[in-house]
Structure 1
Amino acid sequence: MNTAYENSSLRNPKPELLDKTHTAGRNNSLDGLIRSMPSLNTVSVETDCQIHGKQSWLVTKIVDNAHNIECQKCKWERDAYQNKVQNMQADLLASLEIPSEHINADFSQWSVGGDDQIRARIANIVNFSKEYAASYRKGHANILLTGNTGTGKTKLACLIANEIVRQCYYAQMTVAFKRSGQIQQEIKATWDKGSSDNDTAYIERLSRSTVLIIDEVGEADTSFSDKAADKDRERLSAIIDRRYQLRLPTIITTNMTADEFYHQMGDRASDRLRQNLVDISCVWPSYRILTGKVRSL
Structure 2
Amino acid sequence: MAGPQVTSVVVCDEHGPYQATVHQVLSHTFRSPCPVCKAAQATKDEAEAAQRQRAELAYKLGDALIPKRFKDKTFDSYTAATEVQRKVKARCIRYADEFGQNLEDGRCLILVGNPGTGKTHLGVSIAQHVMATTRHAAAYRTLGGILQAIRSTFDGGSGQTEGSILDALVRPALLVLDEVGASKEAPSDFELTRLFSIINGRYERMLPTIVISNLGAKELPAAMGERSADRLREGGGIVLPFDWKSHRGKEEI
TM-score (norm 1): 0.63
* Alignment: residue pair count: 223
1:102 to 51, 56, 70: 70
- Aligned in 2, Cα 1:207/1:140: closer, same or farther, shift over 3 Å? same
* Counterpart residue identity of residue 144, structure 1: I
Please state whether the residue corresponding to 1:109 is helix, strand or coil: coil
2:188 to 217, 223, 229: 229
Cα shift at 1:74: 4.2
Aligned counterparts, 1:134-149, within 5 A: 134-149=100-115
Aligned counterparts, 1:128-277, within 5 A: 128-169=94-135, 173-220=136-183, 229-276=188-235, 277=237
Aligned counterparts, 1:77-96, within 5 A: 77=41, 81=44, 88=51, 96=64
Please state whether the residue corresponding to 2:131 is helix, strand or coil: helix
TM-score (norm 2): 0.72
Contact 1:147 1:281 in 2 (8 A): yes
The whole-number CA distance in structure 1 between the counterparts of 2:191 and 2:46 is 44
**Which position in structure 1 is the counterpart of 2:31?**
53
Please state whether the residue corresponding to 2:218 is helix, strand or coil: helix
Describe the superposition over 1:111-169 as per-residue Cα deviations: whole angstroms up to 9, x where unpaired.
2223xx32542353244233333544243311110011111101111111111122331
Please state whether the residue corresponding to 1:164 is helix, strand or coil: helix
1:118 to 68, 84, 90: 84
Contact 2:106 2:203 in 1 (8 A): no
In structure 1, the gaps of 5 or more residues are 1-43, 56-69, 293-297
- Aligned in 2, Cα 1:286/1:230: closer, same or farther, shift over 3 Å? same
Please state whether the residue corresponding to 1:290 is helix, strand or coil: coil
- Aligned in 2, Cα 1:268/1:287: closer, same or farther, shift over 3 Å? same
- Residue 286 (structure 1) aligned with residue 246 (structure 2): yes
Cα shift at 1:100: 2.8
Larger Rg: 1
The whole-number CA distance in structure 1 between the counterparts of 2:36 and 2:87 is 50
The whole-number CA distance in structure 2 between the counterparts of 1:131 and 1:208 is 21
Cα shift at 1:187: 0.7
- Aligned in 2, Cα 1:280/1:255: closer, same or farther, shift over 3 Å? same
Please identify which structure carries the higher helix content: 1
Contact 1:150 1:286 in 2 (8 A): yes
Q: Which moved more, 1:194-203 or 1:236-245?
A: 194-203
Contact 2:131 2:137 in 1 (8 A): no
The whole-number CA distance in structure 1 between the counterparts of 2:36 and 2:97 is 36
